[in-house]
Structures are given as C-alpha cells and as structure tokens.
C-alpha cells in the first residue's frame, strides 16, 4: 500500500457496513479519504471514531449517487480541494423488497439508479480525473454473489426483484471498463468484488438470525479491497468472489 500513501480515495456508501470499514482501513494505510453518503450524521460519527490523530485524513460529504447534480457537485468539490482522485470505491447500494411483477416501478428504478447508474456517474468523473493526470488509478466496484448466480427461492416467490439484475449488470460493466481503460491507453485498474452474505444494515434481521454462522463481516470485504490495491502496478485483480465458509449457495 506504500504507493497509495497520501493519495486520494473516494468511498461511496461510506456511512456504514463495508463502506465504513473500508474508510477506516484506507485512513490507517495513510490515504486521504473522502467518505460519501446521504446520511451526513453517520459520516460525522465515523470521523469522530477515528480519533484526533487520524480524523484529519477523512473528509465527509453528503452525496446522493442517484442524482447527477449531486455527484457532479461533490466530485468537482473534491477535485478542486484535493487536486484529483486516485482510488474510487463504488460501494453505495440499495435493495428494496418485493416481486418484480408487482412492485412499484419507482422502487425498481431507485435500485437501478443507485446500484448501476450511481456507479456509472461516479466512475466517469473519477476516470476523467485519473486520465487527465496520467494517474495509475484504481476503480473498485462492490458487487454481490447474486451478480453471478441467481439462487432459487422456490416454492416461495423471490423478493430480490431487480437487485440481482442490477448486480449482473455490474459484472458486465466491470469488464467493459477493463476493455475501455486498456483501449484508451491508460494504466487504470478495475476490480469487481462480489461477496456472499455480509452482516450489514441492508440484511434483514430474520436473515441474520438464520445465517448468523455463515456471514462475512464488513472487515472481510475491506481486507479484499486492500489486497487488490496492494498488488504491483502490472497486476490487475479483475474479479474476486468471497463467500463465508459453509455457505451453501
């Protein structure tokens, strides 16, 4: 991680779970970190948790990745203040229960706007900053195991609706980015990290009770992020799938 010392990392969905764990690890590694989320109060709590010696390395900004206006404003602010972006962790995600055949289409659109278009919006601006400065940057997408396998819930109807398709889209998007980054003659890396069940606020309490012995912690995923960032410049870890030991799917 030495080459990232004092470099700038942006983490979306930083207010809890994987995002918060990642922020702490990147700060510990000596990076200048910008944590983005809608819940500014939670971001401020995260900053306080770092203590007086580390809190100056974290800047927190309220941002809604479903809004082009919000993302543009925040990323312009980051670039003006810090000079550019070297690492982007696309972690913001959304899941809303319901069946795709009956749910409110506005809810389905919210999932897509967060999981897919939020990633696209943030990556475009981070990539522009990296390319303009000839930075050997790194873009990481926090995906899901359901982006690779659609698990049957029969005889009950599934409740993941458009969440799984949004994660399938990110698998293809990551490969498109890999080809585009290479085709545009950059040294920017792209990594897609797909964990199994993670103990975060997005997981319903009943699910946590049922699978309490077969869940990853947010720190497990943060460790994978640091691993991909620590690889030498000539190594690109394109895909990581992480499952908790004993997971049956």
Residue for token digits 């890396």? 189
Q: Is 163 a catalytic residue?
A: yes
Q: Cα-flanking dihedrals φ and ψ of residue 196, to 5°?
A: -75, -150
Burial of 135 (0-12, 13-18, 19+ CB in 10 A): buried
DSSP states along 228-241: HHHS-TT----EEE
Give the count of beta carbons closer than 10 Å to the beta carbon of residue 186: 16
Cα 179 from Cα 182, distance rounded (Å):
5
The tokens of 51 are what?
Answer: 């203590």
Catalytic residue among 163, 177, 211, 249: 163
Annotated catalytic sites, by residue? 163
């Amino acid at each position: 991680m030495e080459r990232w010392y004092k470099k700038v990392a942006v983490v979306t969905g930083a207010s809890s779970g994987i995002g918060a764990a990642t922020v702490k690890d990147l700060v510990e590694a000596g990076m200048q970190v910008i944590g983005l989320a809608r819940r500014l109060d939670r971001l401020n709590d995260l900053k306080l948790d770092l203590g007086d010696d580390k809190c100056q390395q974290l800047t927190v900004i309220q941002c809604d990745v479903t809004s082009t206006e919000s993302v543009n404003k925040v990323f312009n602010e980051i670039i003006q203040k810090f000079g550019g972006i070297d690492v982007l962790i696309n972690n913001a995600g959304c899941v809303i229960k319901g069946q795709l055949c009956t749910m409110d289409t506005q809810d389905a659109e919210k999932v897509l706007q967060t999981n897919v278009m939020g990633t696209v919006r943030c990556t475009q601006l981070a990539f522009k900053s990296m390319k303009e400065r000839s930075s050997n940057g790194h873009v990481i997408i926090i995906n899901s195991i359901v982006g690779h396998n659609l698990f049957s819930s029969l005889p009950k109807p599934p409740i993941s609706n458009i969440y799984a398709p949004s994660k399938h889209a990110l698998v293809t998007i990551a490969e498109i980015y890999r080809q585009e980054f290479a085709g545009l003659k950059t040294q920017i890396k792209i990594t897609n990290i797909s964990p199994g069940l993670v103990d975060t606020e997005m997981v319903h309490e009943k699910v946590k009770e049922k699978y309490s012995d077969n869940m990853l912690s947010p720190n497990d995923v943060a460790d994978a992020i640091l691993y991909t960032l620590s690889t030498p410049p000539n190594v690109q870890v394109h895909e990581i799938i992480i499952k908790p030991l004993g997971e049956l799917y």
